[in-house]
Amino acid sequence: MSKRLDRWLQAKKQGEKQVLVTAYDYTFAQLADQAGIDGVLVGDSLGMVVQGHAHTLGVRLEQICYHTEMVARALQNALLFADLPLGSYEESPEQCWRSATALLRAGAEVIKWEGGLEFLEHLRFCAARGLNVCVHLGLTPQRLRQWGRFQRQGVDAKDASRLESEALTLAEAGARFLLLEAVPAALAERITRQSPIPVIGIGAGPHTDAQVLVLHDVLGLSDPPPPFAQSFVDGKGLLGTALRDYAHAVRAGTFPQGRQTP
């Protein structure tokens, strides 16, 4: 077990909150790592925040591998998670293992996929071969077309009970992490309290072992950010001002005047 993974497991035992953000390139991953972020996820959210699509459905495995390689080169301390995109794992445990192996070769340490008990055999197959799996439950964006829209999960008692049972079964079957998205805080708290493995939340209240946000939401670069996110700086404003100041200096002839040139 790597020291980075062990830190997460020890933090769970000691009740210490962990912090996870997405990143998709060397520069932002390095910033996250140097800021003391505990984990970085190369998410299929790159389809939206990097590629400009309305959803994640078009992201391909080779694209996740490409971005994972860049992020891996930047990290010294943070644990590296990577997503299996739609169509790269559902067919069979063997397909799942092949796709996960590609991400491992790119530098990922934890492989995340969306879906629960329907992939129980995938989990057992991969965990038996030493794969660190993060199972993503609740709102799973890859099923957008099935649902027709993004919607909270586990709201009624029956669905909440199903999710709770599912999460604990997957933890016992070999998952290393659970990620709960857009579920009620009380449900996330119950699962976190019972789970033997770290539970990561996004839009799931404050009681999970860790929180994850898309980096662009944290930095105020999303327009608009999702309702459960929070911007900690006006990134759009700051960067927009810098670019406008640069353009003004060039047009006014004050840059690069007086500066050394080759």
What are the residue numbers of the active site?
Answer: 181
Residue 182 token pair? 């857009």
Measure the CA–CA gap between 196 and 217, rounded to whole angstroms. Answer: 30
Residue 144 token pair? 């957008």
**Residue 129 CA from chain centroid, whole number:** 23
Pairing of strands 177-181, 199-202: parallel
Q: What are phi and psi of 127, to 5 degrees?
A: -65, -35
Is residue 182 within 8 Å of residue 159, measured between CB atoms? no
Residue 127 token pair? 């965990």
Measure the CA–CA gap between 246 and 27, rounded to whole angstroms. Answer: 21
Per-residue three-class SS string for 97-121: HHHHHHHHHHCCCEEEEECCHHHHH
Is residue 88 within 8 Å of residue 95, measured between CB atoms? yes
Pairing of strands 133-138, 110-114: parallel
Q: What are phi and psi of 160, to 5 degrees?
A: -65, -45
